[in-house]
Amino acid sequence: CRFSQMLHPIFEEASNVIKEEYPDKNQVVFARVDCDQHSDIAQRYRISKYPTLKLFRNGMMMKREYRGQRSVTAIADYIRQQKSNPIREVQDLEEISSLDVSVPVLFLLWIFFNVELWNLFYLSVARLAYWLVCCRAISKAERFSGDNVIYKPPGENAPDMVYLGSLTNFDLIYAWTQDKCVPLVREITFENGEELTEEGLPFLILFHMKDDLESLEKFQQEVARQLIGEKGTINFLHADCDKFRHPLLHIQKTPADCPVIAIDSFRHMYVFPDFSDLSVPGKLKQFVLDLHSGKLHREFHHGPDPTDVAPGQPIQDLASSPPESSFQKLAPSEHRYTLLREKDEL
């Protein structure tokens, strides 16, 4: 791969720069994998384009790949950022009340400096969120039930949430933290589109005008009410329809038609019939279930299932295929995504 050959000396020089700053080989390790010879590794981590730079922390692959500049300085700076301390110790509880409430995720960790617990948080989940550590002396009032972790969501009136699991169980802490750090409905942008696609889950997308917060709030509420059990089988997203005109064109829509809800299965795109039906109990959930069962695909190609047709009504045979996915990968030789190409056109 020509691009891999171009990156090789840059990657090696960056590793030498970091090695001088962090001589302990257990702190930072640079490694290369020949995916031709080790296809099992490439398959395990779903590597499909080259070169790919992935970060592993304590044996766990981080979802976000390195997508910065392919230069020695940029790669070295990225590692320095990863090595910076993400935990801030608070000496005065008043500091908490003066914090910027716009911080997307805020965790308050009321705990004294137990080495084992400190290492657990620092090494496992600290980088998923913004952590504040309050030492035992000043957090005594908050520790009436012992050491605990509190999630403080943004907003002045949002209630705090207390972690009720074991403080020494990594899997529980990580799952709880990740659940709080990753919103149920995320915004898809040109910057994170490739990353979301690589998660391998179909998209349920609300296309809306940027200032149409009412539709977004309604969508978020119905996703939480109807589809919380589908989390992990489909990604819930919202997109600025003015920026993502290209996917709308795939489903024969324009920003004037928004808000519009659609599913992108990475094979085809399917449109939710009517946004006004969003609050109809079970309607949105059935839309997603029809994707999983293959019904959406069948109906696009062959018309409504016989069981869905009223007596005497002919079954429609659709000659045309459903709209193709607008977010899927292009041919491997191009190493591009449709949505990223759209950004270039803008």
Answer yes or no: CATH 3.40.30.10 is held by domain 2-82: yes
The domains of the chain are located at 2-82, 87-181, 186-331
- Fold matches, 2-82 and 186-331: yes
pLDDT band per the 50, 70, 90 thresholds, residue 321? low
pLDDT for the residue numbered 19: 94
CA distance 19 to 329: 36
pLDDT tens column, 121-174: 666 666 666 677 776 667 776 666 677 777 776 666 777 788 888 877 878 887
Reported pTM: 0.65
The predicted model gives 104-122 an average pLDDT of 65
Number of helices (H) and strands (E) in the chain: give both, helices first: 12, 12
For domain 186-331, give the CATH number: 3.40.30.10
Distances (CA, A) of 20 to 14, 27, 28, 30, 66: 10, 12, 11, 13, 21
Spatial CB neighbours of 241, under 8 Å, sequence gap ≥ 6: 207, 208, 209, 248, 255, 258, 259, 260
3-state SS, 181-195, equals HCCCEEECCCCCHHH
Identify the CA nearest to 133 among candidates 86, 174, 186, 74. 86
Half-sphere exposure of 82 toward its Cβ, with a 13 Å CA cutoff? 22
Query: Which fold does the domain 87-181 belong to in CATH?
Result: Glutaredoxin (3.40.30)
CB-based contact 178:130 (threshold 8 Å): no
Mean pLDDT of the chain: 80
